């Protein structure tokens, strides 16, 4: 029978013989009869006896194929939700509101990695005056995270989102209601109004929109950032942020 090229044969054999779920190969596997599939598996088993490194190569190729498929899916999701991600009029923005380079951050104020990222973002915005940072509250670490996000979005109505954001990212305390009250009043917020507006259904809808966007992008945790078509999971340093901004600026022609 005609035999596939070595990489395809290796991966196909892994699918058939080891039960791996690789998105690129079910259709190829279905094109063979049971006898042909058995022959392919037999060929690869014999090859593995002679050269065990084949398995490592095949698994590496499978990982690369899966990574490429995941990146393609992420780019498609970003394109599909671009307006909600980059240009929602409801979202708070730091840096230059008219900046040509947009960075989106999904964060949880209780997240240690988000706290670690904060100084690098602050430096980036001071050094790169054409960057706008869109903030997406994503409270995934329990009830206190949800409470803090609701307080942040309520503070936006009093023009104090950025101040409370900075305060909560710098907290060592848990953002319980008494702590939120203390921080809000320290910043000059009307606590009674803030506490009332934290229960506004519009805030719950905004947080659900952020969760839906994170799910569409397959975001697994915080922080997660977007720049152009690139999703950056986890905290990165200032040098990495500046490199990503420079690359995006070049893509945009300026």
Residue 49's pLDDT is 74
DSSP-assigned beta bridge partners for residue 136:
106
The predicted model gives 115-125 an average pLDDT of: 96
Q: What angle do CA 216, 218, 222 make, to 5 degrees?
A: 115
* Percent of residues, the chain, with pLDDT higher than 70: 79
DSSP 97-114: TT-SEEEEEEE-TT-HHH
Residue 31's pLDDT is 62
Residue 18 above 60 pLDDT?
A: no
3-state secondary structure of 16: helix
Residue 104's pLDDT is 97
pLDDT band at 15 (very low <50, low <70, confident <90, very high): very low
Q: What angle do CA 121, 125, 131 make, to 5 degrees?
A: 110
Residue 164's pLDDT is 97
CA distance 104 to 57: 36
Residue 24's pLDDT is 46
Residue 30's pLDDT is 58
Q: What is the value of pTM for the model shown?
A: 0.74
Residue 19 above 60 pLDDT?
A: no
Structure tokens of 74? Answer: 């992420």
Residue 3's pLDDT is 45
pLDDT band at 82 (very low <50, low <70, confident <90, very high): very high
Mean pLDDT computed over every residue of the chain: 85
pLDDT band at 167 (very low <50, low <70, confident <90, very high): very high
DSSP-assigned beta bridge partners for residue 232:
225
Model confidence pLDDT, tens digit, residues 23-71: 444 444 556 677 877 777 777 677 767 777 766 666 666 566 565 666 7
| 233: Cα separation from own chain's centroid | 5
Distance between first and last Cα of the chain? 55
Residue 2's pLDDT is 46
Residue 5's pLDDT is 45
Is the separation of the CB atoms in 219 and 233 below 8 Å? yes
3-state secondary structure of 148: helix
The predicted model gives 143-171 an average pLDDT of: 96
DSSP 59-81: HHHHHHHHHHHHHHHHHHHHHHT
Residue 20's pLDDT is 45
> Among 74-78, 147-151, 228-232, which range has the highest average pLDDT?
147-151
Taken in order of first residue, the domains within the chain and their CATH numbers are 6-79 (no CATH), 83-251 (3.40.30.10)
Is the separation of the CB atoms in 230 and 86 below 8 Å? no
* Percent of residues, the chain, with pLDDT higher than 90: 67
Model confidence pLDDT, tens digit, residues 175-214: 999 999 999 999 999 999 999 999 999 999 999 999 999 9
Residue 8 above 80 pLDDT?
A: no
| Pairing mode, strands 131-137 and 230-233 | unpaired
Residue 14 above 70 pLDDT?
A: no
CA distance 104 to 122: 14
């Amino acid at each position: 029978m005609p035999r596939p090229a070595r990489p395809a044969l290796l991966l196909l054999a892994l699918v058939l013989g080891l039960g791996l779920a690789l998105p690129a190969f079910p259709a190829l596997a279905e094109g063979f009869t049971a006898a042909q599939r058995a022959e392919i598996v037999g060929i690869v088993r014999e090859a593995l006896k002679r050269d065990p490194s084949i398995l490592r190569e095949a698994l590496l190729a499978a990982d690369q194929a899966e990574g490429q498929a995941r990146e393609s899916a992420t780019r498609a999701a970003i394109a599909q939700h671009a307006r909600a991600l980059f240009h929602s009029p409801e979202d708070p923005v730091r840096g230059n509101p008219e900046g040509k380079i947009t960075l989106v951050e999904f964060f949880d104020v209780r997240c240690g990695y988000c706290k670690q990222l904060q100084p690098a973002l602050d430096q980036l915005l001071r050094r790169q005056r054409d960057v706008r940072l869109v903030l997406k509250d994503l409270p995934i670490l329990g009830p206190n995270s949800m409470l803090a996000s609701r307080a942040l979005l309520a503070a936006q109505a009093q023009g104090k989102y950025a101040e409370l954001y900075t305060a909560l990212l710098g907290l060592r305390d848990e953002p319980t209601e008494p702590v939120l009250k203390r921080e809000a009043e320290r910043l000059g917020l009307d606590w009674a109004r803030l506490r009332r507006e934290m229960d506004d259904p519009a805030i719950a809808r905004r947080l659900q929109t952020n969760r839906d966007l994170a799910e569409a992008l397959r975001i697994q945790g915080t922080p997660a950032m977007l720049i152009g078509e690139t999703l950056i999971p986890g905290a990165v340093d200032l040098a990495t942020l500046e490199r990503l901004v420079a690359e995006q600026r070049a893509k945009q022609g300026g």
